[in-house]
């Protein structure tokens, strides 16, 4: 793995000559939009105990507390705007014959930037799921109260059952269909771009191994080293919102 001191032209060539691209993003991709990451010094898990706010046990113990945390996160997301990194990733979709963006993020900034060839593997902050009938509902337009109390917790429009945020919590399984799709694309890609993830959770998904096994070049965009950096052929130690548009601008003017 070369570190961030590498020949820029080699990196641009890797982007320009790729055919099948697999992008894997984490909370760092939304940092420049003003949304917090989880494990950095000012991260969410420093403010909220994940065992209280991101487990089914925590939800059952105090659903009002958990729903109000997710309500405040919805308000944060609503006020955030996609940054140049999100926008660049959306622009990249049509350049390649095969492209999939897999995000761990539950915000909607990739979608609002225009990304369509994407899957969310940790759920969606704008969805709720019924604990009775498992129905999934978009809550973006729900006129939720400023603050939930037990009596006003969201109920299923189908069956009236209790609902929970449609987020994958610790100790829970990912959607098998989504994971299969992501793993397939990781195993056929010739370029994997890892953006803004510590790899603390995703390391178990093996996407980088699958990409490596297929001989893919791996580029990581992250100001700090993480658990996936060891797989990177190129480590761009810069914020994604700056690095992605800069790189992409050079790719678009690349002379084959
Ligand atoms: N550009 C790129 N990367 C950045 C930026 C930036 N501007 N700012 C921070 N980062 C990097 C940090 O260096 C860190 O490596 O983003 C990463 C964020 O790591 P985490 O906080 O661990 O977030 P993430 O990797 O997305 O966590 C994965 O863990 O708790 C669960 O479900 C949660 O989806 C989340 C998962």
Give pLDDT, residue 254.
85
Q: How far is CA 74 from CA 3, 69, 146, 210, in A?
A: 36, 9, 11, 34
pLDDT band at residue 9 using 50, 70 and 90 as cut-offs: confident
Give pLDDT, residue 228.
96
129, β-bridge pairs: 136, 164
**Ligand 1 site, residue 38, Cβ cutoff 6 A:** yes
**Which protein residue's CA is at the shortest distance from atom 35 of ligand 1?**
104
Res 4 pLDDT > 70: no
- Distance (Å, rounded) from C-alpha 130 to C-alpha 171? 19
* Ligand 1 nearest-atom number relative to CA 43: 21
Which residue segments constitute the domains of the chain, with CATH numbers given? 1-34+82-122+174-256 (3.40.50.1220), 36-79+123-167 (3.30.1600.10)
Give pLDDT, residue 7.
61
Digit-coded pLDDT (tens) for 105-144 = 999 999 999 999 999 999 999 999 999 999 999 999 888 8
Instruction: Look at residue 233 and give its three-state secondary structure.
Output: coil
The whole-model pTM stands at: 0.96
Res 68 pLDDT > 90: yes
Q: Any idea which of 145-149, 165-169, 199-203 has the lowest mean pLDDT?
A: 199-203
Residues tagged active-site = 122
**Ligand 1 site, residue 165, Cβ cutoff 6 A:** no
**Which protein residue's CA is at the shortest distance from atom 26 of ligand 1?**
26
pLDDT band at residue 6 using 50, 70 and 90 as cut-offs: low
Digit-coded pLDDT (tens) for 209-255 = 999 999 999 999 999 999 999 999 999 999 999 999 999 999 999 88
Digit-coded pLDDT (tens) for 21-44 = 999 999 999 999 999 999 999 899
Q: Is the separation of the CB atoms in 30 and 23 below 8 Å?
A: no
Of residues 133 and 1, more confidently modeled: 133
Strand positions, DSSP E, the chain? 20-25, 98-103, 118-120, 123-130, 136-138, 163-167, 191-195, 217-221, 234-236
Mutate to test the pocket of ligand 1, among 173, 194, 197, 243 (most ligand atoms within 8 A of CB): 197
**Ligand 1 site, residue 161, Cβ cutoff 6 A:** no
* Of 255, 219, 248, 250, residue with least CA distance to 96: 248
Phi-psi label, residue 112: left if phi above 0, alpha if psi -120 to 50, beta otherwise = alpha
Mutate to test the pocket of ligand 1, among 31, 33, 37, 224 (most ligand atoms within 8 A of CB): 37
Average pLDDT over residues 65-84: 96
Digit-coded pLDDT (tens) for 190-207 = 999 999 999 999 877 899
**Ligand 1 site, residue 245, Cβ cutoff 6 A:** no
Give pLDDT, residue 203.
75
């Amino acid at each position: 793995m070369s570190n961030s001191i590498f020949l820029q032209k080699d990196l641009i060539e890797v982007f320009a000559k790729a055919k099948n691209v697999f992008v894997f993003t984490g909370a760092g991709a939304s940092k420049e939009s003003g949304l917090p990451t989880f494990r950095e010094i000012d991260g969410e898990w420093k403010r909220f105990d994940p065992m209280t706010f991101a487990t089914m046990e925590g939800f059952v113990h105090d659903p009002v507390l958990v729903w109000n945390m997710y309500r405040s996160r919805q308000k944060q997301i609503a006020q955030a705007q996609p940054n140049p990194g999100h926008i660049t990733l959306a622009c990249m979709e049509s350049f390649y014959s095969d492209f999939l963006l897999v995000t761990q993020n539950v915000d909607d900034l990739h979608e609002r930037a225009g990304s369509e060839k994407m899957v969310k593997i940790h759920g969606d902050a704008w969805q709720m799921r019924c604990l009775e009938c498992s129905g999934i509902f978009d809550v973006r337009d729900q006129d939720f109260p400023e603050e939930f109390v037990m009596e006003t917790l969201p109920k299923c429009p189908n069956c009236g059952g209790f609902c929970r945020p449609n987020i994958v919590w610790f100790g829970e399984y990912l959607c098998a269909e989504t994971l299969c799709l992501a793993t397939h694309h990781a195993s056929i890609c010739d370029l994997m771009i890892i953006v803004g993830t510590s790899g603390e959770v995703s390391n178990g998904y093996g996407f980088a191994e699958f990409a490596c096994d297929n001989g893919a070049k791996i580029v990581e965009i992250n100001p700090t080293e993480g658990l996936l950096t060891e797989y990177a052929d190129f480590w761009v130690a810069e914020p994604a919102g700056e690095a992605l548009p800069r790189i992409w601008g050079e790719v678009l003017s690349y002379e084959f």
